[in-house]
Amino acid sequence: MNLATRPKGEPEVNLTSLIDVVFLLLIFFMVSTSFVKESRLTITLPEAQSVAPAAQAERLEVAITAAGTFLVNGRELVNNSPLTLRRALLEVSGGDTGLPVTIVADADARHQSVVTVMDVAGRMGFVKIDIATVSGED
């Protein structure tokens, strides 16, 4: 019987299993992460005030009825064409794009009508565009 002790070697740590687990976790997190970057718009929302601002001498007011007809300073337009609206705004403003434009839309008016007025006024160069609101106290 040979009871001689063998020389003990350095203990080895098998890293193969550890590397496999880390690699699988990496793959899991890569697959489960969404890489879609949603675009966000910065919007400054209007606030309604309880007191009406002081009336200015010159102001353009575009009213939109529930049926979608446009009225520029109280005068009804012959049709709802953006070209007709452009001509009416040009005639009333006299080419002065520094005038404020107030959009007064009926609650039942289509959103597209409001967007059309904003688009036409913006393309003409008007930068002071307001949307009229009613106070919640009424």
Is residue 122 a part of any domain in this protein?
yes
| Residue 105: CB atoms within 10 Å | 19
Is residue 90 a part of any domain in this protein?
yes
Is residue 55 a part of any domain in this protein?
no
CATH number for 107:
3.30.420.270
Is residue 112 a part of any domain in this protein?
yes
The reported pLDDT for the residue numbered 11 is: 76
Question: Could you list the residue range(s) of the whole structural domain that residue 120 is in?
Answer: 60-131
In this prediction, the residues of the chain whose per-residue pLDDT falls under 70 are 1-2, 35-57, 134-138
pLDDT tens-digit series, residues 56-89:
457 889 999 888 889 999 888 998 899 999 999 9
Is residue 27 a part of any domain in this protein?
no
C-alpha–C-alpha distance, residues 103 and 109, integer Å: 12
* Number of structural domains found in the chain: 1
Is residue 73 a part of any domain in this protein?
yes
Is residue 108 a part of any domain in this protein?
yes
Is residue 4 a part of any domain in this protein?
no
Rounded to the nearest integer, the mean pLDDT of the chain is: 81
Handedness of CA 136, 109, 63, 98 (dihedral sign): positive
Burial class (CB in 10 A: 0-12, 13-18, 19+), 1: exposed
